Amino acid sequence: MEDSSLRQTTVLARRYLDIMMGDTLNTALLLGQAPILAILVSLAFGDISGDTSIPLIERIATQQFQIRFALALAAIWCGTTNAAREICKERAIYLRERMVNLKIESYVLSKIVILSLLSFVQCGILLVMTDWIAPQGVEGDLVIMFFVLMLISLAGITLGLLISAAVDNPDRAITLVPVVLMPQILFSGVLNPIDQMQSWSKFVSSFMVVRWSVSILDKLWKKEVASSAFTTELIVLIVFILAFCVLSMQVLNLKEVSLKRAAVPRKVPETETVICSVCSRKIMSGRTECSACGTAFHVQCMANFCPVCGAPTSKPTFRRVEIEPGTLCALEGTPIKGTGVMCPYCESVFHEKNVRGLDKCPICGN
């Protein structure tokens, strides 16, 4: 009986949380982003006594707008950087579990749940410290602002997962993060107001999360929470979150389909060095092949189904091999003459009589 999506999500989320809590240094570094960004925001927009020709109320309004922009940018930055490596770094594990029963939606949602908890703490630290350190504080309803920042960070999380789903290793994911976030700044409507943009710039700007985030925070500061524009922009932000989430799942699905299509069904010669289609590493030892399509894999990477053609597979067993003179039995330590049997996992060789009737290798336990 297949596991339900909810049960899978719960199990995967618990496992992911255990992994994150086990890596205390990395978790501490992720949490440390928030206070550092809060201090930088407070230092950057702390002094309003410079130009006295501008009325004080206008200077305060300008500074508060800049702080809201910085908070929105910090929230999406934290969310994106938190999630950008989380799928691609587990690619081999993900592909193996997909061969068994893993649902894509459960896998992605488990990431979102745990990363949202991390962002919850980050946004709280970011907002509270900025309000505490900045000379003018952060004006507006901090509770509502916190939940808006959480939505912005959640949009960043789903955007980061989309990046992670699209690439094959964490290095490429981290490289893409600034490439994706720079347009968020340039087309946010802060550096260049929306009404002064060219038509194509306005079109691009409509797909920028930061643009809508700053607008929401601005209306929150102006106490226009009950306005239809505020509700519309909030819905747009939620649509971004859902769209990035669905796109992440679709990208994972498309990559899996392309992996199956790219594999050439053929019998691989024993002497040829090949790449395992599951973990993408060279098969130096412990190789097995699908009986239907002939594609080679690491023995450890095989599951109930071939990831290329979908044919059912069974656990590899001991096989007879020609033994070179002088080879010793791994169990008895005596020379093996003629033929012997080899474990497909650890490639230990034995006298046939020593493993007859055994289901597991006495050396590696597989």
Using a cut of 0.85, tell me whether the model's pTM lies above it: no
Specify if 181 maps to a domain: yes
- One domain for residues 175 and 307: no
- One domain for residues 172 and 272: no
Specify if 230 maps to a domain: yes
Specify if 190 maps to a domain: yes
Biggest distance spanned by C-alpha atoms of the chain: 99
- One domain for residues 142 and 234: yes
- Any residues with CB less than 8 A from the CB of 92 and at least 6 apart, and which? 278, 279, 280, 301
Specify if 115 maps to a domain: yes
- Any residues with CB less than 8 A from the CB of 130 and at least 6 apart, and which? 38, 41, 42, 67, 71, 138
pLDDT at site 233: 87
Q: What is the pLDDT of residues 306-340, one digit of tens each?
A: 666 666 666 666 777 777 777 888 777 788 877 88
Measured between alpha carbons, how far is 154 from 240 in angstroms, rounded to an integer? 10
- One domain for residues 234 and 349: no
- Judge whether 113 and 58 are in contact, CB under 8 Å: no
Domain count, the chain: 3
pLDDT at site 81: 94
Specify if 363 maps to a domain: no
- One domain for residues 285 and 274: yes
pLDDT at site 282: 65
What range defines the domain where residue 346 resides?
319-355
> Residue holding tokens 């060789």?
349
pLDDT at site 343: 77
Q: Nearest 5°: CA angle at 160, between 139 and 143?
A: 20
- One domain for residues 285 and 181: no
Return the higher-pLDDT residue of 276 and 234: 234
- One domain for residues 182 and 272: no
- One domain for residues 187 and 287: no
Measured between alpha carbons, how far is 327 from 335 in angstroms, rounded to an integer? 6
Q: Mean pLDDT highest for which of 100-104, 184-188, 220-224?
A: 184-188
DSSP, residue by residue, 60-121: HHHHHHHHHHHHHHHHHHHHHHHHTTTTGGGHHHHHHHHTTT--HHHHHHHHHHHHHHHHHH
- Judge whether 303 and 310 are in contact, CB under 8 Å: no
Query: With 80 as the cut, is the pLDDT of residue 224 above it?
Result: no
Measured between alpha carbons, how far is 39 from 145 in angstroms, rounded to an integer? 18
Specify if 275 maps to a domain: yes
- One domain for residues 189 and 307: no
- One domain for residues 306 and 323: no
Lowest mean pLDDT across 249-258, 307-316, 338-347: 307-316
Specify if 366 maps to a domain: no
Q: Work out the mean pLDDT of the chain and round it to a whole number.
A: 81
Q: Given the DSSP bridges, would you call strands 296-298 and 287-289 parallel, antiparallel or unpaired?
A: antiparallel
Specify if 360 maps to a domain: no
- One domain for residues 232 and 291: no
Lowest mean pLDDT across 111-120, 240-249, 275-284, 354-363: 275-284
Q: What is the pLDDT of residues 67-110, one digit of tens each?
A: 889 999 999 999 999 999 999 988 888 888 887 788 899 999 99
- One domain for residues 34 and 122: yes
pLDDT at site 3: 54
Query: With 80 as the cut, is the pLDDT of residue 277 above it?
Result: no
Q: Nearest 5°: CA angle at 222, between 218 and 224?
A: 95
